Amino acid sequence: MNAEDTNLLLLTGVSGNVTVNPGMAQKLLVILEGEDFLGGSATGKTGTPIKQTAGAYFSVTGAICDAYWNRKPGSPVVMKVYAPLDAYGTSPSSAAVDTVSGTKIFTFDTGALRYAATQYIRIEDVDNQSPLYWANNSSTFTVKSDAAYRLQLVLPGQTAAAGFSGR
């Protein structure tokens, strides 16, 4: 919009509210506990992920977004979240986004993350329906060890396997 004061009276004014709608859905976003959505930013989020404890449950929020990380309600997609670095962990089931909010909360149940280390969560479009939306990785976060409750005996020729319960 261009406004020009042709009488040189230096008139000022304020426009009414302008609604800016999200663009076409293009990519997925995962928000960790301690983070919040921030559409229009470089990463689509703000905040610092909180530390998680190995073996404890926690939740993440998946979202469908436009190119500028604005949530895009009304765009159906089935998403999957998982922790690629945790060989012994388990992941929530794939689930459809809530088309009213453009988001879905996924809960990693007790025992889901077992490896105490720096981790990240990956979110992917798994419905095999066109269009396929860009996958994305979360911020990195720390998974700290749970309280000790057993002793691991490692004999010569064996290797300790962090995160493996041996059950």
Read off the pLDDT of residues 133-157 as tens digits, 9 standing for 90 and up.
999 999 999 999 888 777 777 889 8
Domain range summary for the chain, segments of one domain joined by + = 27-143
Give the residue-averaged pLDDT of 71-85. 96
Whether the predicted pLDDT of 11 surpasses 70: no
> What's the mean per-residue pLDDT of the chain?
90
* CATH of range 27-143; options 3.90.550.10, 3.30.1490.190, 1.20.1050.10, 2.60.40.10: 2.60.40.10
Pairing of strands 141-144, 52-53: parallel
- What is the four-CA torsion angle of 153, 158, 162, 167, rounded to 10 degrees? -70
